[in-house]
């Protein structure tokens, strides 16, 4: 191998190594951003699910209360609609119905958890793709000659093992 050919091969190998190293640095930088982002999103989804479950339990509890109140309807409600007991009963039922409506509005106002989950799936897939890219780049870097000695390439592992 001539000196010019060796110099060209060295320059080409160094250029390829620099390119792969830059790609690896970019992949690692994105992983450092995406992994904590996924961890935060998981917490948001869990908190959102807990909040939704809590609201649903409250709605069911209020509906059970309304059903119980209907079962306790005063017998004189049809005959004496202005009776104080009937008025109190009607006010209690209306108050619980208003609570149910307010809770349902609160539930509808919450962010869509399915969209959050979809975002989490997409983020997980992106992280997996980055992890595969990282492994592929490390493998490619370990295959690119790092040093030349005596006119021939000496393979050197990215992990420091010669």
Q: List pLDDT tens digits, range 6-45.
A: 788 888 888 989 999 999 999 999 999 999 999 999 999 9
Q: What is the mean pLDDT of residues 47-65?
A: 97
- Ordered structural domains, the chain, with CATH: 3-154 (1.10.287)
User: pLDDT by residue (tens digit) across 72-116?
Assistant: 999 999 999 999 999 999 999 999 999 999 999 999 999 999 999
Please say whether the beta carbons of 38 and 127 come within 8 A. Answer: yes
**Dist. CA 74–CA 7, nearest whole Å:** 101
State pTM to two decimals: 0.67
Q: For residues 49 and 101, give the distance between their C-alpha atoms in angstroms, rounded to a whole number.
A: 20
């Amino acid at each position: 191998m001539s000196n010019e050919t060796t110099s060209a091969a060295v320059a080409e190998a160094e250029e390829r190594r620099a390119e792969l190293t830059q790609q690896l640095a970019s992949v690692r930088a994105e992983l450092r951003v995406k992994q904590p982002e996924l961890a935060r999103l998981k917490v948001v989804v869990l908190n959102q699910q807990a909040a939704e479950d809590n609201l649903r339990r409250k709605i069911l509890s209020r509906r059970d209360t309304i059903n119980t109140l209907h079962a306790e309807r005063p017998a004189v409600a049809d005959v004496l609609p202005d009776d104080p007991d009937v008025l109190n009963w009607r006010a209690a039922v209306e108050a619980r119905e208003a609570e149910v409506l307010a809770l349902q509005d609160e539930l509808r106002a919450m962010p869509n958890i399915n969209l959050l989950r979809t975002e989490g799936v997409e983020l997980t897939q992106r992280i997996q793709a980055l992890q595969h890219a990282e492994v592929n780049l490390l493998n490619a870097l370990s295959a690119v000659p790092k040093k030349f000695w005596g006119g021939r390439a000496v393979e050197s592992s990215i992990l420091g093992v010669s």
